[in-house]
Structure 1
Amino acid sequence: MEPGIPANSEHQTSRLQEALDTCQRELAAVRKQQEADRELIARGARAEEQLVKLSTVLDAYLVQRERRARWWGPLRPLVRPDAPTRSERADLALIHGSGLVDGPWYLRTYPATADKGLSPALHYLRRGAAAGKDPGPGFSTRAYRRQHPELPLDVNPLVHHLRSRR
């Protein structure tokens, strides 16, 4: 033992070395977890990118299908059962022209609507508004209803907004 150094300093040094080793192991584990988290975030970003592409393609398909719901058969026009009615077609033209319906956003926000086989605009017109869904990030159905409590429940808030703006 060296003179002037307490006898328990060797013991303290060994305890400090153990604590340092423990900290280094924990730091290595945290770094490893951070790397795994970065990979998960990157995979999530790629999945989100694919989801945006898929919802855009699905929206285009459903809108095209909606527009072709009526075609001419050998003797008379044939209409699919889910085809928009005459009044719905007028409302759809108004809605599509507004830019307030974001079909891909609607499909990502309300994924169960894709099962119905309707375009996002037609789904919003028939069912979505009544359920309090928004047609896109630029229009809040519930906020519009709060601002217009006199609006009957069977009137679509977005259609009302667009017609009253004219």
Structure 2
Amino acid sequence: MRARLRGQKTRYHHGDLKRALLDAAATLIDIRGRAALTLREAARRAGVSEAAPYRHFANLDVLLGAVALEGYEMLIADLENAGSARRLREAYLTFAGDFPGRYQLMFGPLGDHDAAAERKEEVAHVAELTEEAGGLAALHGAASLLLAGLGDVAA
């Protein structure tokens, strides 16, 4: 019996191939890191053929860009709902801790130029939202320390 990632379906049945591939990719990135993701592995985890991902993603960089963009959407929603500087900080650090691979993907290099251009807009929006909590650079530094295992920096 093959081990599967927590919360990951073993077979694709629900008719939304793109969603299944994004979920498989995001889960794999969060658990094992960006280097573990291939289009073949995303297809396997989604329970589809190796050729199926190409219906929605021209290559791995495009899939990575889509995962990163979706991560920004999640983070921005969390930040917009925070309401105070302390809660902004908590929301940012919680996101980084809950989705470490995705967080590192979002703020690391992306090969696809279109995804990188979209990311600049998202980073600018995150920076704007985090101003009252010390700014993006301060929160990113705190999140990086947290992910490096250097203690709880949320206080």
State whether TM-score is above 0.5.
no
- TM-score, structure 1 as length reference: 0.26
Structure whose alpha-carbon radius of gyration is higher: 1
Per the normalisation by structure 2, the TM-score is 0.28
Higher relative contact order (CA 8 A, sep 6+): 2
